Chain A
Amino acid sequence: MIVSIASGKGGTGKTTVAVNLALAATSVEDDILFLDCDVEEPNAHIFLKPKIVEKSKVSRLVPSINKAKCTYCGKCIEVCRYHALAIISTVKSKKDRKILFFSHLCHSCAACIILCPQNAIEESKEEVGTIKQGLVGPIRFIGGILNTGQASSTPLIRQVKAKIKNEKLVIIDAPPGTSCPMVASVMGSDFCILVTEPTPFGLHDLILAIETVKKLHIPFGVIINRSDVGKDIVEDYCLKENIPLLMKIPFERRIATAYSKGRTIVNESLEYKRKFTALYEHIKEITK
């Protein structure tokens, strides 16, 4: 079973829920994989503190032009939808001609490589980030870290997700938002937990996240974090729309302080350990 944790709005407690759910599930499952797909700002390792056993660089495909073969016909520029290639030339001398490549615009689609009539473009690699693998008790941890300046995180997210085998439980900590990185992370999940807070910001972004998971046909439920600091707008919305409200986590300075020290709730409170275990059992039940 793959359970992803997403939110729309950032900072609502995705990582907190993902980490605590994984730790609580260890009392039920012994084959758990935790994926940190928030590769722009990965945080789960701060709380899980896995022992890293392997680090590997991840790269993506980019074109490399073989100048000896290139006839400057301009086909590659014509086919690139992302305007990642351009040709410069001076009228005076043909020697000055050059194909320019803008890496940050490239989507690694390989159209230029495949469609070049001269076969003058080869596949080369560009490093996009790192994947760390580690262990925390029975949990296998895999997290992606995007290199600074890389525009697109989806190639890295795809490679993190490619590590899924057929574990009993896979927990995916997704990035915030509702665009491609979030979609790439939650796609293929059996269930998605949407974490929000009871404020107009939280509700507004929750509705967008719900639209997204509905489009992807993923069953979902909602957790309200800091549930007592705002109003009941999110709860009312869930009731009205018939959306399962999975859990409410009230604001407690104790929880906030534990978080700010990199500690987890389930290790601080037996009550929450029970709650998160029950949450896992509940999700297992719904997805049956």
Chain B
Amino acid sequence: MKQLAIISGKGGVGKTIITASLAYLAEKAVIVDCDVDAANLHLILNPNVLEKIPFKGRQKASIDRRLCIRCGKCVGVCRFGAISYEKSYLDQKSILINPFLCEGCGLCSYICPQGAIKLEEEVSGAIFISESRLGPLIYARLEPGEENSGKLVSLTKEKAKLLAEKINYNLLIIDSAAGIGCPVIASLIGVDCAIAITEPTPSGLHDVNRAIDLARHLNIQNIKLVINKYDLNIKMSERIEKYCKENNIELAGRIRFDRAVIKSIIEGKTLLECKDFKDKNEILNIWTIIQNNLQATQKICSL
């Protein structure tokens, strides 16, 4: 099975809409939305959810006040500053755990001489297995303010792989999150080809460079770049093209700035389903490049 990931570093450069458009062209592909903080693909694909799997990624310390003797040992050991003394209404100091700061390491529960602190596992998100007009879509949602998004991404990809094997599909198309942190790392592990999307702005180039560095750090050498809205600043686009040459990255395509893109998002359509979108051929070209590339690597593997 092949894995294709769409990354960008910078947010809002067009990852999701381009992912959806490539998914439109792909046959026998399972589509995976790994932007678990802010999943958007389902807004375009409008799928039927077949199954919702709760995600238990969260473990938080909770304190039993009847057992607590306010010795403060837990306050001293917590490296996340999640435990503090708080004045209660009886003017007696009580101990409070801030659930937003707690990372669930459990050290306080080991240290507490009274056994007053326990770790509790809670549901902090969900994975959705769904069916859309473009094929199966697996996406996930992390509850706002929660942590462990990397783990949720890994599980989401795992579910997608299992489904693909079951129905005999041979490609995963992965829409990753912005940035270069744990959800992106989890999205990129095991990927055969990464498509980096950027825009001709200083931040676009700066951020895509960091995302590409990360992909290479994870041993992905097969990286292609797409410049979205390239005509907004031709000079900057030329700089990005030069960057591609210098860094041995294939430029897979250039898409013009087009107000029809916003229209297609509002209408819940991919760019290829949007009547007014001008650069349909460019998307087709990008897809051909990716397809040839994936087939070529297939041959090498089978040799």
Q: Interface on A for B, CB 8 Å cutoff?
A: 7-12, 15, 40-41, 43, 46, 61, 79, 81-82, 104, 107-111, 114-115, 146, 148-153, 175-183, 187, 197, 199-201, 204-205, 208-209, 211-212, 215-216, 229-231, 253, 256-257, 259-262
- Asked if B59 CB lies within 8 Å of chain A CBs, one says yes
In the complex, chain B residues 91-132 whose Cβ is within 8 Å of any chain A Cβ: 100-101, 103-107, 110-111, 119
Given contacts A151-B181, A260-B233, contact A201 B13 (CB under 8 A): no
- With both beta carbons as reference points, the residue of chain B lying nearest to A112 in the complex is identified as B107
- Asked if B266 CB lies within 8 Å of chain A CBs, one says yes
Is the CB–CB distance between B38 and A205 below 8 Å?
yes
Is the CB–CB distance between A200 and B265 below 8 Å?
yes
Query: How far does the Cβ of A203 sit from chain B's closest Cβ, in whole Å?
Result: 9
Which stretch in B140-148, B157-165, B278-286, B295-303 binds the other chain?
B140-148
Q: Can you report 11 residue pairs joining A to B where beta carbons are below 8 Å apart?
A: A9-B40, A10-B178, A114-B77, A146-B180, A153-B181, A204-B38, A215-B100, A231-B266, A260-B199, A260-B232, A260-B233
Q: Interface on B for A, CB 8 Å cutoff?
A: 9-13, 16, 36-38, 40, 43, 59, 77, 79-80, 100-101, 103-107, 110-111, 119, 142, 144-147, 149-150, 177-183, 185, 199-203, 206-207, 210, 213-214, 217-218, 232-233, 236, 259, 262, 265-266, 268
Main secondary structure of the interface of B (DSSP, over half): loop
CA distance A142 to B296 in the complex (A): 47
List A contacts of B145 (CB < 8 A): 178-179, 183, 211-212, 215-216
Interface centre among A12, A151, A200, A201 (most CB of B within 10 A): A201
Is the CB–CB distance between B232 and A146 below 8 Å?
no
CA distance A180 to B265 in the complex (A): 28
CA distance A194 to B179 in the complex (A): 18
Is the CB–CB distance between A179 and B206 below 8 Å?
no
Given contacts A11-B11, A179-B37, contact A149 B110 (CB under 8 A): no
